[in-house]
Amino acid sequence: QQRAAIARALAINPRVMLFDEPTSALDPELVGEVLKVIGDLAREGRTMVLVTHEMKFAREVATHVVYLYNGLVEEEGPPEQLFGAPKSERLKQFLRNVG
């Protein structure tokens, strides 16, 4: 169902695609499949805004990451910076908790 929705969205050739937790309601067996489709779109150079808790995936495909805490921007920057050397104590704690 998610792949079909992505295909429909691509049919109109959007400049930006928004994904709001695209894997949150999926059977665990389908998560990898949907992440692959989104990863392929990122490698094609598609502009996307992706809301996710899939941190490993975000680190691999993002060019810019924004970490929100209570609806406010806590920290932002390139994935190497946010995941490799976070400045915010909240982000450090979050990354420790999600592994």
| Total domains, the chain | 1
Report the CATH number at residue 60. Answer: 3.40.50.300
DSSP bridge partners of 75: 67
Residue 2 tokens read as 């998610």
pLDDT at position 78 is 98
**Per-residue model confidence as pLDDT tens digits over 50-63:** 999 899 999 999 99
Regions of the chain short of the pLDDT cut 50:
none
Q: What residues make up the domain containing 19?
A: 2-98
Model pLDDT, residue 2: 80
- Model pLDDT, residue 74: 97
Contact criterion met (CB below 8 Å) for 75 and 88: yes
Average pLDDT for the chain: 93
| Helix runs in the chain, H state only | 2-11, 28-43, 55-61, 79-84, 89-98
| Residues with Cβ within 8 Å of residue 35, at least 6 apart in sequence | 23, 54, 57
Which stretch of DSSP H or E encloses residue 77?
Answer: strand 72-77
Length of the chain: 99
